[in-house]
Amino acid sequence: MSVLIERKTSDRNSIAIETTDAQHLAATKRRLTAAQRRWVADSAFEAAPGTFALIADESGKLVRVLVGVDAGDALGALGALPRALPDATYHLADEGVLKDKKQAALGWALGAYEFTRYRKARRAPAKLAIAAADLATLQPLAEATTLVRDLVNTPTEDMGPKHLADAVKQLGKTHKAKVREWVGDELLTARFPTIHAVGRASHRSPRLIELNWGKNTDPKIAVVGKGVCFDTGGLDLKPADGMRWMKKDMGGAAHAIALAGLIMQAKLPVRLQLLIPAVENAVSGAAMRPGEVITTRAGITVEVDNTDAEGRLVLCDALTYASEQKPELLIDFATLTGAARVALGPDLPALFANNDDAADRVIAAGRASNDPLWRLPLWRPYRKMLESYLADMANAGASRHAGAITAALYLERFVPDTTPWLHLDTYAWNDGDRPGRPRGGEALGLRAFFAFLQERYKR
């Protein structure tokens, strides 16, 4: 059941939440009774962000909650409350220092999340009553974020290539979209050799899943998501600490699936193509070897310098196939490089683009939706780092410099210059618990891209 519900004007049972800060606490107290002010003082409530005080009436009934917030962080202001407050229904009071109540309500919904597939919920989260119009806008965003988190949090044994395909098929069933897939050696017959090469060592067959939706008369957009369901590194084996969380290496696919769902639910006037190359980068006698040369779908030969640079390999054939359909916009999501995290940290996804206007607009959309992105350059002189002595290019090189850029430059080779292309290198993960951002899988860049598409394709 959703923690965001419609607020009825006739419903007088919900409890008011008033946001405040140290600067406005005195004014907040003036709205309380003398007994309530004494209680606030005795509780040592000073309106520090993340703290709250429960206010009762003369009979002892909870009637108000004072919440300390950072007025500049509406999204994180209420994130800790759904699982901290008594189980009840609340609403945001007209008084309060937060101006953006919609973002605060979204933060409430994001903070209520708990992954319960393998254990019972700790407790039922409290509910927040909001205006019907806000509910219609925020509920899909909260549900899409939950989908990303659930997919990423699920261990690989229960989230392999077939499970990703099942998620796309369920999406297709919900929205009456067409879904097909190429599995195992079908990838070779259909000319997706790099997807096959990366996934052939696993006991679970690699596959490419395609969903198509929308009217043929609408502009075509393609969304691609990296679906490496587990990444051992292949024969260039990762160390234990580098492999520990590699169940999340399908985070790009999770973002792409969730974005496709938002597009279809909103009925944006587009012809959507969703592509999920889904593999497990495993180790066996069939594993891809360093030094192999693969002829990609595009006809570009690639020397495998490092089997742990597999994400760009599964993406390049999918990007080529998407480009063949001549979309007016091509988007891909990928948990592609640790270098992007070194450069920008865990909270700021790296955006690469071959079109300045599209890049500027998606960054602006991210800023407006509290889902920030940061653009890094496609610095083409660094292409020399991907040179091969016997193939057209290598998938990696000896230098560790500019790893996020060289990965993006690799992908760029498979996108026509005339096709506007946006590539997001996202972490898809929270390393620790924060208000509205529980530890584990996370949607980073999802709201930004959906807001961008809503603006671009508004009716």
Nearest by Cα to 393 from 313, 281, 277, 287: 313
Contact by Cβ (8 Å): 47, 96: no
Active site residues: 238, 312
- Tokens found for residue 323: 């480009």
Return d(Cα 189, Cα 180) in angstroms, integer: 15
AA identity, residue 121: A
- Tokens found for residue 155: 């261990």
User: Which residues is 437 bridged to in the sheet?
Assistant: 434
Return d(Cα 259, Cα 447) in angstroms, integer: 8
The label of the residue with tokens 């290496």 reads 249
Helix (H, G, I), strand (E, B) or coil at 118: coil
Contact by Cβ (8 Å): 321, 214: no
Pairing status of strand 227-231 against strand 220-225: unpaired
Nearest by Cα to 210 from 143, 162, 153, 277: 277
- Tokens found for residue 438: 């529980």
Other Cβ atoms less than 10 A from the Cβ of 26: the count is 10
Distances (CA, A) of 145 to 114, 338, 348: 12, 23, 16
For 266, phi then psi, to 5°, come to -80, -10
